[in-house]
């Protein structure tokens, strides 16, 4: 190889190296965007419902990675539970985790989205109506009529709430008359119609109120939460099954302006994490409720009763009166009820015809 060839190779190699060096020096530094953090307050100070709120947040984080974070705050961290919806509307909070019954005072129609009358359906079918029967469209119409700047998703179909805790076993509907009873939402109207004296209290105040005699009986939601509140220390008669709140679920709500400012993929994550948490909630919570019901019986000496049919029929009769009265006063309420009845009539017709008698199979194996 001659000197000229070596010289050309040297110059070519130097030029390439120089160009690479220039390219390295000229490359702009790209600043990585900071993750979006949403401040969400839950209506729960602890216990299984706060676990459920965290489970939703965990699903968001798992799907969004480092780009979207939710800072989950416990009850009363920023505002009181009764003020949460307004706080999200104003942007004081970015989001909230609660139930529609907690803002029932703004519109009685709110209770139809989770704590309404039972048209023969469970929480699962009410969520089906929300997603595939026009329920969410009606809910958004309600939000618009109230001037609320929020976007909401429903999740976590709850089993029917127990009738609750009493100072003696309830064997007939006549025993309910005059009792001072704790409940919330539209259920309060129903039980008032049955002749009860209703007191609306937050969960943490139920046990002390019953202990002091402020109330005679109470319901909250499920065996796990009731056990955590210590209801077994103030009553030994626990009644399962009721139509006062036979279907309910969580509402995850976001400030609409904040939600709309997020990338579409983040909006989708917040929506689909809600759907995913519905399945997780039902599997996890029903399993835990079953365990804690046994503990209430075996460890705390609680007498567990199934609510008599006479009480549940009286509840249905009271629901009829309440529905007719409010529908006559509120055309939107009547519109939602009509939509729910149409959906429940068709869907439950199929399910009632198709579902075997699971109780028959249970008795066959377990007696």
* pLDDT of the residue at 131: 96
Q: Are residues 252 and 104 part of one domain?
A: yes
Q: Are residues 231 and 319 part of one domain?
A: yes
Cross-sheet strand order for the sheet of 164-166: 197-199, 180-182, 217-218, 164-166, 237-240, 303-306
Q: Whose structure tokens read 């049919």?
A: 309
* pLDDT of the residue at 18: 44
pLDDT at residue 109 greater than cutoff 60? yes
Q: Are residues 306 and 238 part of one domain?
A: yes
Q: What is the CA radius of gyration of the chain?
A: 28
Of 242, 134, 121, give the one whose Cα is nearest residue 181.
242
DSSP one-letter code for 231: G
Any domain includes 360: no
Any domain includes 296: no
Q: Are residues 118 and 205 part of one domain?
A: no
* pLDDT of the residue at 8: 46
Question: How far apart (Å, rounded) are the C-alpha atoms in residues 87 and 150?
Answer: 10
Q: Are residues 215 and 175 part of one domain?
A: yes
pLDDT at residue 58 greater than cutoff 50? yes
Any domain includes 103: yes
Q: Are residues 171 and 97 part of one domain?
A: no
Percent of the chain past pLDDT 90, that is, above it, reads: 80
Banded model confidence at residue 33, pLDDT cuts 50, 70, 90: low
Any domain includes 188: yes
Any domain includes 59: yes
Q: Are residues 282 and 218 part of one domain?
A: no
Tell me which residue range forms the domain holding 228: 164-246+301-355
Question: How far apart (Å, rounded) are the C-alpha atoms in residues 149 and 261?
Answer: 13
Any domain includes 21: no
Final residue of a structural domain among 256, 287, 318: 287
List the structure tokens of 347: 């869907």
Final residue of a structural domain among 230, 259, 287: 287
Final residue of a structural domain among 258, 287, 316: 287
Q: How far apart are the first and last CA of the chain?
A: 98
Q: Are residues 238 and 252 part of one domain?
A: no
List the structure tokens of 352: 């009632």
pLDDT at residue 17 greater than cutoff 90? no
Assessment of whether the complete model's pTM goes beyond 0.75: yes
* pLDDT of the residue at 256: 98
Q: What is the CATH number of the domain that holds 68?
A: 3.40.190.170
Q: Are residues 112 and 47 part of one domain?
A: yes
Q: Are residues 310 and 280 part of one domain?
A: no
Q: Are residues 148 and 40 part of one domain?
A: yes
Question: How far apart (Å, rounded) are the C-alpha atoms in residues 136 and 50?
Answer: 25
Q: Are residues 349 and 259 part of one domain?
A: no
Question: How far apart (Å, rounded) are the C-alpha atoms in residues 82 and 86?
Answer: 9
The set of residues, in sequence order, having a beta carbon less than 8 Å from that of 282 and lying 6+ positions away, is 156, 157
pLDDT at residue 137 greater than cutoff 90? yes
pLDDT at residue 27 greater than cutoff 90? no
Any domain includes 132: yes
How many independent structural domains does the chain possess? 2
Any domain includes 46: yes
Banded model confidence at residue 9, pLDDT cuts 50, 70, 90: very low
Q: What is the CATH number of the domain that holds 335?
A: 3.40.190.10
Question: How far apart (Å, rounded) are the C-alpha atoms in residues 186 and 169?
Answer: 25
pLDDT at residue 127 greater than cutoff 50? yes
Is the distance from CB of 39 to CB of 69 less than 8 angstroms?
no
């Amino acid at each position: 190889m001659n000197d000229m060839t070596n010289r050309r190779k040297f110059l070519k190699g130097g030029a390439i190296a120089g160009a690479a060096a220039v390219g390295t020096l000229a490359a702009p530094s790209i600043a990585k965007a900071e993750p979006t953090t949403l401040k969400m307050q839950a209506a729960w100070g602890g216990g299984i419902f706060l676990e459920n709120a965290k489970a939703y947040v965990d699903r968001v984080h798992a799907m969004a990675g480092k780009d979207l974070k939710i800072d989950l705050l416990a009850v009363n961290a920023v505002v009181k539970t009764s003020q949460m919806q307004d706080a999200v509307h104003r942007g004081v909070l970015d989001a909230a985790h609660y139930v529609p019954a907690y803002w029932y005072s703004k519109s009685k129609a709110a209770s139809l989205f989770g704590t309404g009358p039972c048209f023969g359906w469970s929480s699962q079918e009410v969520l089906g109506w929300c997603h595939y029967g026009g329920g969410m469209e009606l809910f958004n119409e309600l939000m618009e009529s109230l001037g609320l700047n929020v976007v909401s998703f429903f999740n976590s179909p709850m089993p029917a709430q127990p009738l609750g805790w009493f100072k003696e076993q309830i064997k007939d509907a006549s025993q309910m008359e005059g009792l001072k009873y704790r409940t919330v939402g539209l259920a309060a109207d129903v039980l008032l119609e049955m002749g009860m004296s209703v007191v609306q209290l937050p969960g943490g105040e139920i046990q002390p109120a019953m202990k002091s005699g402020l109330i005679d009986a109470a319901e909250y939601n499920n065996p796990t939460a009731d056990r955590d509140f210590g209801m077994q220390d103030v009553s030994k008669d626990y009644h399962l099954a009721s139509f006062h709140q036979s279907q309910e679920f969580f509402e995850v709500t976001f400030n609409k302006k904040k939600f709309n400012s997020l990338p579409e993929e983040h909006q989708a994550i917040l929506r689909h994490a809600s759907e995913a948490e519905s399945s997780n909630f039902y599997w996890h919570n029903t399993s835990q409720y079953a365990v804690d019901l046994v503990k209430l019986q075996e460890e705390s000496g609680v007498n567990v009763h199934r609510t008599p049919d006479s009480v549940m029929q009286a509840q249905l009769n009271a629901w009829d009166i309440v529905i007719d009265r409010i529908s006559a006063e509120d055309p939107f309420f009547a519109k939602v009820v009509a939509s729910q009845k149409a959906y429940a009539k068709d869907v439950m017709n199929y399910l009632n015809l198709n579902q075997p008698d699971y109780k028959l199979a249970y008795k066959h194996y377990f007696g």
